Structure 1
Amino acid sequence: MNNQLIRVGTIYIPVKDPASSSEWYKGKLGAKLNYLDDEKAILNLADISLFLVKAVGQTSNFFDVNGAERFILTYEVDGLEALASIHADFRERGIKVGEIENRGHAGRNFVFSDPDGNKFDVWSELSDEFKRS
């Protein structure tokens, strides 16, 4: 089938100030800045293009049916040791992180937030496609 979706290329994230947010993503997460103007910043992180788009009073988060605030994106690391290591590293860098959780499925997770309150998840289970790389 030639018309199948292959990968996620870009994620759009609302931020108050693209310039200061891009500095946070570069400094705290190691993202690479590709473009910046007054309304957006384009960065590469974990093989995905992040568009930080200037917005007012919004985050990318949403509320599930039980009222829990959720994230739009889960990053993967290779194993529990890698998860614990990046969790500790994020704390040392001053990133707002939650506790490592057991959610009743394979692996463990934790949630972190950017300065604008956008939440992201990190999971200890690496997708098979990347295990083969």
Structure 2
Amino acid sequence: MDKLALKRELESKYPHAKARLARIECVYIPVTNAATAKAFFMKHGLITLSPQGNVKLASGQGIFFLETKEKQTSNFVTHDWDDNNEEHEMESVCFEVTQIDELYAQMKADGAAVSELKDSGDCGLGFHFRDPDGNKYMAWQQA
């Protein structure tokens, strides 16, 4: 079933005008060392820290870097994103950023693992980056 057919079916079965989920308050990311993850994000100006040392985005939403016993990432493989790739490695978080050209140049110059900066026309500019544990993220700026 295609996405529009599924949309019609679900909306006919479950009609409601407003979703109860208001926004994402925080995200939990698996890491081997929380201090290293915070330092990576701070180095690139991606986050600030609250007075209690918690990670905050410019919007006020939080990220928790939670240490795991065994190394793992939040990435997953899907066939449902890229029509040309049945095993696309998908990031679990896409961040809206400001000054994407400057951020990209800085991260690349600092040796961060980044993809090429891509202009997707009306969808905006974006690039992927990875933290020291290999968690994949998207940095995106609206066109």
Moved more, 44-53 or 2-11: 2-11
Q: How does the TM-score come out when normalised to structure 1? A: 0.74
Moved more, 115-124 or 86-95: 86-95
1:61 maps to a residue whose letter is: N
1:71 maps to a residue whose letter is: E
Instruction: Give 2:56's match in structure 1, choosing from 44, 61, 78.
Output: 44
1:1-133 pair list within 5 angstroms: 4-34=20-50, 35=52, 42-47=54-59, 48-55=61-68, 56-65=70-79, 66-77=86-97, 82-102=99-119, 106-125=123-142
Q: How does the TM-score come out when normalised to structure 2? A: 0.69
- Distance of aligned partners of 1:63 and 1:123 in 2 relative to their CA distance in 1, 3 Å threshold: same
Stretches of structure 1 lacking an aligned partner (at least 5 in a row) = 37-41, 127-133
2:44/2:103 contact within 8 Å kept? no
Q: Which residue of 2 aligns with 1:131?
A: none
Stretches of structure 2 lacking an aligned partner (at least 5 in a row) = 1-16, 80-85
Distance 2:37 2:124 in 1: 30
CA RMSD of aligned residues (A): 2.4
Distance 1:12 1:60 in 2: 9
Using the aligned pairs only, state the percent identity: 29
Aligned length: 118
Which structure: larger Rg? 2
1:18/1:52 contact within 8 Å kept? yes
